[in-house]
Structure 1
Amino acid sequence: MFRTIPMCIACALFLTPLTNAAGSEPQTAASPDAKPQYQWVNVTQSAAYAPRDGAGALVFKDKMWLLGGWNPSDKVHFPMICNNEVWSSRDGATWSLVKPNTFLDKHFDPTRDWEGRHTAGYAVYQDKMWIVGGDANQGHIHNDVWNSTDGKNWNLVNKERDVPWGPRVLHYTFVFQDKIWILGGQTMPGFAEPRKEVFYRDAWTTTDGVKWQQVTPEEPYWSPRGMIGGSVVFKDRIWVLGGGTYDTPTTPTRNFYNDVWSSADGVHWKQHTAAAPWAPRQYHDVAVFDDKMWVMEGYYNQDGGNRNDVWYSADGVHWVEVPDTPWAPRHASSVFVYDNALWMVAGNNMQRDVWKLIRVPGAR
């Protein structure tokens, strides 16, 4: 069954960016005649899906697709902490339930459908949507790979053959040079077996989800990390923008980063800045929009935790902040680049809001 909700009246906020270079102080005000560049539009405050964070966000067949998610306080829609619903939308206001949640209890068969999960690996590749690995909320780490051509019917790609890079969660997933890549991540000994703590600093690639090739970066390169939502492949390079590590019983202090790295092959890396002007963060989202790299929201254990700042850069060194974000601070949102806009959907604010950022017509 498909469920829909009508569009609400959109509201807009015109924004003039404040420019920051790495290590410099932000401008305190824009010039009086500065022309706004971007505009936030509130598409709806009451989307049809239940509030959630960590849901997969893919653009496929001219639609936005929302996959799974986490909300342990909602036992109706998330009876097992996470669910495996799939929603789609062409306009961000009307969302259709393509695949109802089947992850209802311990009798679930994980070979017939994917277990509910959040902050997994998500990609569009070879005309399919892909889910690569998952989380540790069920007392085990997902080592499976699934794909689908319609969002309703899903194929277990690696049945009876766990991925060779497991166990890991919170990995960074993207498509580059006609391959699916995963990078970084960690084990979660406080949540699931194995109880051995590992923070990964490697990468793996595949063309079919079954056979994987390890990529070993050469020094210097990024420190062990994950917790980066979305992906940035820009100017024929992989980009790592911030990220961090989750706490474990052995290492109870999380790491938060705001460094910027890129690579043309996954082996040789360049550090563009050791400290971008945006605060260190994890569970943030990154994207490529309007020929720029974007860093949005996230979590930092200072300055109130959840964030709602939005930054962009054309080179990874010089960053511009879009001020006065109208949506609530959050982390683990679902971000789309779709229909000439950058979309902010759901997240740890646990609301059903949908926003999009558009370029103001005629702006520089």
Structure 2
Amino acid sequence: MTTPVRYLLMIMLFVAATNVPRPGVPSTFAWTKLLDAGPWRKSYNFQLFSHHDTLWAFHPDGTWFSADGQHWVKSPLRNAIDNQAFLDYVPFNNTMLGLGHFTGNIDRYTFRPDIYQSPDMKHWNRLAGSNLPQRFFYHPFVFQNKIWIIGGEDKRTQFADIWNSADGVHWQRVKDNLPFGKRSSSQVVTLNNRLYLLNNDVWSSADGLNWRLETPEIVKGASIFGYAAVVLDGKIWLLGCNRNGQFSSQVLVSADGRAWQGQNAPWSPRGGIAACAHRGKIYMTGGKYGGQDTAHPDFVYSNDVWVLQAN
């Protein structure tokens, strides 16, 4: 190879290398407000799903569905699990499941391990009594054709175990004493065939049983919680982070769970957001914002609707 040709190839390789996107750097996405107010009352800690190619908002007052995030119709499907701050719904095998029934608050409550199933998104069927673990503050997810639960808590303690179920009714504890210890309110997403467990730290697993630490802190020197985790464009997006007791509107993005980049968002600071990926976009609504005194905050609740999409 002649020297000029070799030199030209070196320049081409250098230019190509400098144009490779760095892990965690967001692509060109922008937020757009779709509605100043959704048809539901202002609230937080409810769920937004993409199910049967339709957006579904599972609110304490009922359910609404939409094809575009702007025009919503109320469904006859009622809120089956009651207090959605403690328990979740989960899409599974082309149906929607409600895991448990919780009435009350952390100080005084009633829990029933009832499982509700809706095949038509209009009515609930109560399935047979289950051995669903009697706990709350966990987020169920689907992996390898099963529903999984990691950790959670009851009134006495947090847990460091994993349960799964092939039907939502019969549950089996598959591992205990996990390396990340007792925890609750973890967000779990799937990216590139790996599970990512997110709290203030990040752990990942290829099989749901064996876990490795990706980073001990998502934001160095800060404690973050209260966010919603969504996967879009080959990245994990964290929306509505509470940092050291203060809510923020900054979104955190990572392609590997280790390196995180911040991206400013135009919506008001908040946590407890309802969000999901749908047709290559992220939709979000709800959430709450606290005052400066985190010990006695005056909360402001939201019901505006936003979408994140490529420019």
Range of TM-score over shorter length: 0.7 to 0.9
Q: Which one of 45, 49, 55 corresponds to residue 58 of structure 1?
A: 49
> Superposed, which structure 2 residues align to 1:3-22 within 5 Å?
none
Conserved 8 A contact 1:308-1:328: yes
**TM-score with structure 2 setting the length:** 0.80
Q: C-alpha distance in 1, partners of 2:27/2:166?
A: 43
Partner amino acid, structure 2, of 1:163: N
CA contact (8 A) 1:217 1:269 kept: no
Q: 2:212 aligns with which of 257, 260, 270?
A: 270
* SS, match of residue 277 in structure 1: coil
- Higher Cα radius of gyration: 2
Query: Aligned AA for 1:39?
Result: A
* One-letter code aligned to 2:174: V
Summarize the Cα distance change of 1:342–1:124 in structure 2 as closer, same or farther, 3 Å threshold.
same
Runs of 4+ in 1 over 6 A off after TM superposition: none
The structural deviation recorded for 1:217 is 4.7
Cα distance in structure 2, aligned partners of 1:57 and 1:180: 18
Alignment length (residue pairs): 275
Question: Is residue 2:158 matched to residue 1:199?
Answer: yes
- What is the CA distance between 1:314 and its match in structure 2? 1.1
Give the partner amino acid of 2:211: W
Q: Aligned partners of 2:33, 2:304: CA distance in 1, in Å?
A: 8
1:16 maps to which residue? none
Structure 1 length-normalised TM: 0.69
1:134/1:261 CA distance change after superposition, 3 Å = farther
Letter of the 1:185 partner, please give it. G
Q: How does 1:103-252 map to 2 (within 5 A)?
A: 113-133=80-100, 135=102, 137=104, 139-158=109-128, 161-166=129-134, 168-188=135-155, 197-217=156-176, 221-228=179-186, 231-242=188-199
**CA distance in structure 1 between the partners assigned to 2:131 and 2:175 by the alignment:** 17
Q: C-alpha offsets along residues 85-111 of structure 1, whole Å, 9 cap, x if unaligned?
A: 11111111111110275x7xxxxxxxx
Aligned-partner SS, 2:225: coil
Matches within 5 A, 1:277-356: 277=219, 279-302=222-245, 304=246, 306-323=247-264, 325-348=265-288, 349-356=300-307
State the Cα deviation string for residues 18-62 of structure 1 (Å, max 9, x = none). x898xxxxxxxx9xxxx9711101111121111111112221111
Partner AA of 2:137 in structure 1: L
CA contact (8 A) 1:262 1:272 kept: yes
* Distance in 1 (alpha carbons) for counterparts of 2:86 and 2:235: 24
- The 8 Å contact of residues 48 and 284 in structure 2, kept in 1 or not, is answered as no
Task: State the Cα distance separating 1:149 from its structure 2 match.
Answer: 2.0
Percent identity over paired residues: 27
Residues 55 and 118, structure 1, Cα contact 8 Å, conserved in 2 = yes
Q: Check conservation: 1:204, 1:212, Cα contact below 8 A.
A: yes
Query: Partner letter of residue 249 of structure 2?
Result: N
One-letter identity of the residue aligned with 1:344: M
**CA offset at residue 135 of structure 1?**
4.4
Letter in 2 for 1:240: L
2:148–2:164 CA contact under 8 A, matched in 1? yes
Q: Deviations over 1:304-335 (max 9, x none)?
A: 2x232211111111112112x11111111110
State whether residues 130 and 170 of structure 2, in contact with CA within 8 Å, keep that contact through their aligned partners in structure 1.
no
**In 2, Cα distance between equivalents of 1:96 and 1:165:** 34
Q: 1:283: Cα distance to partner?
A: 2.5
Q: Which residue of 1 aligns with 2:71?
A: 94
Q: Distance in 2 between matches of 1:136 and 1:262?
A: 33
Distance in 2, matches of 1:170 and 1:135, equals: 11
Q: Is the 8 A contact 1:68 1:118 kept in 2?
A: no
Q: CA RMSD in A?
A: 2.5
List alignment gaps of at least 5 residues for structure 1: 1-18, 22-29, 70-82, 104-112, 189-196, 243-257
**Contiguous gaps of at least 5 residues in structure 2:** 1-21, 289-299
